[in-house]
Structure formats: structure tokens, C-alpha cells
């Protein structure tokens, strides 16, 4: 029997079926039923049916994102603009084209072009050695940052800067959105002992409405083995139709797809002179409909079988952090013990909550069984690790070791939840956090290593929007590089 064969408990919100006028029905209802076109449920907590404010807010935000998707998409034009204004390599490229009599076109797929996140922090160098205790957290944080970039940038960073083997930079299919919405990077670090494969999931695309809808969706599934898990994150990882996790799918068993991956990996592992993927293959991997979990599992099986000492790390920022913790959860669901035995650690940065207390207990048991390190990093007032809510309605819970950093990158270790009343409005707390953000602006201006102009602008925005600005990857990179324990007074 497949692990998912039992009918799970669930709450499903179909945002496509919901209309704006349904918001009034949700908000003023005292007891939402599962008979509506836009909501389906099975054995859910009655409080979610009686306290509908959270459901109302979730539907409102998602409908608004869908309605203004094109407006949000204008952010990509802003990204182009800041590349032209603040990226000298891009400007030089356009001037050379002009002098050569060509159209001064901007190539978004060139290694010089960077995302908005890359414009804030262009660092790709690793300033730690493999024997440093910070090495893998720093490498994971950097991988979680560069996975936001285009494939040529990623290749230049991994192969050119880090001198490591790029095993793949992928776009994965999401059955919920009917398109590729999930990105991941896999590379092989042979400098470490033992050698390590890094799997890094990308976080939310800043200007993609569908990606933001995944974050604000409160739909969930509950499996007998795992507990309650956010279904939007599961869909991004590769959850199949009818909300199932079959151990194998058609593409997973497709010999053509399997051979395509093997050819690409063998070109890296067995002496292909220029170490590039074959370009003239008729069965290109990019032409397949790929799901993140199944494809990454296949790559790991192939690579881990090459060397018994090779291990791997899974990491990600934001949504990528959610996928990083769910990936080993599904491996455990499928009893993939031979792969879990090689999992060294999971490092997440600004990770949202992904499941309830039962899920946490399930994962702690599995991580203890396979001696897997799980470190969750939270920077200052970042809002994302505080959602979805851990209240009596949604009951999402964190688990494992949490390293909470303040604005000076001084950290304290917390087990489990962040015990603070983060969402209660307090003028004093707002002033304190705004003053904290003002201090970061002053330090940025006075620092001998001046931060980029776009990042300085973001620092100014943080005076009012500290809850969002503290989520940026560059502060997580700084945290694991510079983090220190607080001084202990005698």
C-alpha cells in the first residue's frame, strides 16, 4: 500500500472559484461550511469554521494578487532599470553593442545580469575554508542567495568562483499553477571532507503573483504518518493530482528522462573535457515536465551511488526553506532510508512554518534516527518565520534548533518556537523596531565597506517596513558569516 493511500484530513481553498463577493460571505459568516465551490474540507478543526477572519484575509490577498498580477509584474522592469543604473557590467555590455552597430539590447540571461536580490548584494565569494565550523552554513546561505539568479550567473558562480561541479539548475512544474514555479540548484563540493552535494531551493520570486499566492494560501493536508502540512508548499515540491505522494510517477519511471539525467551527470563525473551538459541530445531534460521531489531524488540516487562517502545538504531561503524541510519529510514518508542516511544537514533561512506539532514530532524522530542536523536561522524582525500563524485556529508550529540573530548579528539559540507576541500592535514596540532599523541605516553609511545604493535604499524603507526588509538574504549571509554569541556578564 502506498504511504498516501488513506484519505487525509484537509482544508482546500480554491482561489480560482472564489469571487470577490464571496469575501462578504466569508467575513460575516459565523460558521463556514464545506459546501461552497471555493472551500472543501474534511475533518478540520472547528475553530477555523467559526473564526473566519484568517480565511477572509487569505482569500482577499490571493484574489488581489491575481487581479494585480500585471502590476506586480512591472517589478521586472524596475529590475532592468536598476541593472542599467547600478550594474557596470550590464551598462558596458550595452555600450559595446552600440559601438558595434548592434541594438543595445539587455540580455537577461547573461551572467552579468542580476535579480533584484542580486542587486542588493552582489557577493558570490566564499571567505571561509572547509575546515571552518561556519563553512557549510555560509555555503548554504550563499547557495540560497544565488539560486535566485539566472542559469548563466549560477554557472559562473558555482564553477567559476567556487570551483565546484554544477549538477543542475532546474525549473520544476507545479500542478496547482500549471507551470514551472519552483527552482532549485544542485552542485557538488569536492573541497570538503567528506565531499558534499548541496541542494538549494529558491525562495519566492518577488514579482510573481502565483508564487506569493502559494505563501498566503492556508490550505493544508494531514497525513496519518506526518501530521498536518501546508499544501501550497507541498504542491511546489511536487505533490501530485488528488493530493497524493505516490512513491513513483510516470516521469520518474520514464527511462528516457532517467537516461537524460544520467548523460548530464556522466558528462560532469567522467571526464567530459569542457564539463558541460551535452547540447545536441534529442531527449533534453528541459523538455520534460519535471517535479522537484522526484527529479532531485533521482539525481541524489545517481550521485550518492558513485561514492559511499558522499553526503548531501538541503537548504533554502524563505519558501526555499519550506521546501528544504519538506524534501526529507517526503523521503521519510517513502522510506528512502538509503538517501536519508546520507543527509548531513538541513539549513534554512527565514523559513515559514510548514506543519503542526505532529509534523514536528515526526521530523524530530526521523532526524534523530538518521543523525541529521537541522538549523533554522531567523534574522531580527523577519516576519516570514512568524507565519502561518501558530494560534489555536491554524496551529502551525516550528520545531528544532532556531538561531535568532539581532540587528548586530548577535544570536541566541532557541529550541522550537519564537516565544514572543509578534503580531500584537504596540506603539512602543513599533518605535523600538523603527529605531533599530534607523541604526542599521547609520551603520551602513558609516561602514568602510559601503553597501550598494539599492541596499541602502532598502535600509531606509526598513524604518517603516522592518518586518519585510529583515527578510532579505544578504542579512542572513552576514549573520552566518559574522554571527557571535552574546557576551556573558560575570
Please say whether the beta carbons of 318 and 336 come within 8 A. Answer: no
Residues with Cβ within 8 Å of 448's Cβ and at least 6 positions away in sequence, in order, are: none
486 phi and psi angles, rounded to 5 deg = -65, 150
Q: Is 471 a catalytic residue?
A: yes
Please say whether the beta carbons of 128 and 481 come within 8 A. Answer: yes
126: left (phi over 0), alpha (psi -120 to 50) or beta: beta
Check 217, 252, 382, 436 and give the catalytic one. 382
185 phi and psi angles, rounded to 5 deg = -125, 135
| CB atoms near residue 235 (< 10 Å) | 22
Rounded distance between C-alpha atoms, residue 15 and residue 38, angstroms: 6
Check 318, 358, 407, 452 and give the catalytic one. 318
Cell of 65: 494578487
343 phi and psi angles, rounded to 5 deg = -80, 115
Rounded distance between C-alpha atoms, residue 350 and residue 380, angstroms: 10
Rounded distance between C-alpha atoms, residue 418 and residue 420, angstroms: 6
Cell of 92: 558596458
Rounded distance between C-alpha atoms, residue 363 and residue 411, angstroms: 24
The per-residue DSSP string of 190-211 comes to -SSSS-EEEEEE----TT-HHH
Check 230, 317, 398, 471 and give the catalytic one. 471
Rounded distance between C-alpha atoms, residue 342 and residue 361, angstroms: 21
Tell me the catalytic residues: 318, 382, 471
Amino acid at each position: 500500500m502506498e504511504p498516501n493511500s488513506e484519505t487525509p484530513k484537509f482544508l482546500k481553498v480554491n482561489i480560482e472559484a472564489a469571487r470577490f463577493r464571496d469575501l462578504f460571505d466569508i467575513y460575516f459568516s459565523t460558521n463556514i461550511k464545506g459546501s461552497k465551490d471555493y472551500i472543501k474540507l474534511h475533518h478540520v478543526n472547528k475553530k477555523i469554521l467559526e473564526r473566519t477572519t484568517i480565511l477572509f484575509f487569505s482569500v482577499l490577498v490571493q484574489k488581489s494578487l491575481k487581479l494585480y498580477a500585471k502590476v506586480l509584474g512591472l517589478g521586472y522592469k524596475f529590475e532592468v532599470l536598476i541593472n542599467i543604473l547600478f550594474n557596470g557590467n550590464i551598462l558596458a555590455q550595452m555600450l559595446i553593442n552600440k559601438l558595434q552597430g548592434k541594438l543595445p539590447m539587455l540580455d537577461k540571461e547573461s551572467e552579468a545580469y542580476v535579480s533584484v536580490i542580486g542587486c542588493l548584494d552582489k557577493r558570490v565569494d566564499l571567505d571561509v575554508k572547509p575546515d571552518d565550523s561556519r563553512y557549510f552554513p555560509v555555503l548554504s546561505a550563499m547557495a540560497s542567495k544565488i539560486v535566485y539568479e539566472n542559469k548563466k550567473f549560477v554557472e559562473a558562480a558555482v564553477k567559476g568562483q567556487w570551483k565546484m561541479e554544477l549538477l543542475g539548475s532546474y525549473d520544476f512544474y507545479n500542478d496547482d499553477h500549471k507551470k514551472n514555479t519552483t527552482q532549485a540548484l544542485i552542485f557538488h563540493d569536492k573541497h570538503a571532507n567528506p565531499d558534499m552535494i548541496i541542494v538549494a531551493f529558491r525562495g519566492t520570486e518577488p514579482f510573481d503573483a502565483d508564487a506569493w499566492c502559494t505563501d498566503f494560501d492556508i490550505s493544508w493536508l494531514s497525513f496519518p504518518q506526518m501530521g498536518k502540512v501546508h499544501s501550497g508548499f507541498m504542491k511546489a515540491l511536487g505533490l501530485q493530482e488528488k493530493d497524493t505522494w505516490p512513491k513513483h510517477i510516470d516521469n520518474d519511471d520514464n527511462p528516457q528522462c532517467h537516461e537524460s539525467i544520467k548523460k548530464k551527470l556522466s558528462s560532469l563525473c567522467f571526464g567530459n573535457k569542457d564539463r558541460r551538459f551535452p547540447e545536441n541530445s534529442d531527449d533534453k531534460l528541459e523538455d520534460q515536465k519535471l517535479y522537484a521531489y522526484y527529479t532531485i531524488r533521482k539525481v541524489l540516487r545517481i550521485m550518492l551511488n558513485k561514492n559511499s562517502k558522499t553526503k548531501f545538504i538541503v537548504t533554502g531561503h524563505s519558501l526555499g526553506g519550506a521546501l528544504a524541510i519538506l524534501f526529507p519529510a517526503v523521503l521519510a514518508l517513502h522510506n528512502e532510508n538509503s538517501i536519508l542516511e546520507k543527509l548531513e544537514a538541513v539549513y534554512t533561512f527565514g523559513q515559514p512554518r510548514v506543519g503542526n506539532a505532529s509534523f514536528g514530532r515526526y521530523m524530530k524522530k526521523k532526524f534523530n534516527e538518521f543523525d541529521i542536523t537541522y538549523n533554522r536561522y531567523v534574522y531580527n524582525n523577519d516576519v516570514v518565520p512568524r507565519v502561518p500563524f501558530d494560534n489555536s485556529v491554524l496551529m502551525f508550529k516550528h520545531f528544532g534548533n532556531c538561531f535568532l540573530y539581532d540587528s548586530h548579528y548577535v544570536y541566541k539559540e532557541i529550541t522550537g518556537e519564537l516565544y514572543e507576541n509578534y503580531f500584537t500592535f504596540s506603539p512602543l514596540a513599533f518605535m523600538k523596531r523603527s529605531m533599530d532599523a534607523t541604526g542599521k541605516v547609520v551603520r551602513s553609511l558609516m561602514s568602510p565597506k559601503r553597501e550598494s545604493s539599492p541596499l541602502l535604499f532598502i535600509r531606509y524603507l526598513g524604518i517603516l517596513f522592518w518586518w519585510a526588509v529583515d527578510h532579505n538574504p544578504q542579512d542572513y549571509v552576514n549573520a552566518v558569516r559574522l554571527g557571535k554569541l552574546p557576551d556573558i556578564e560575570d
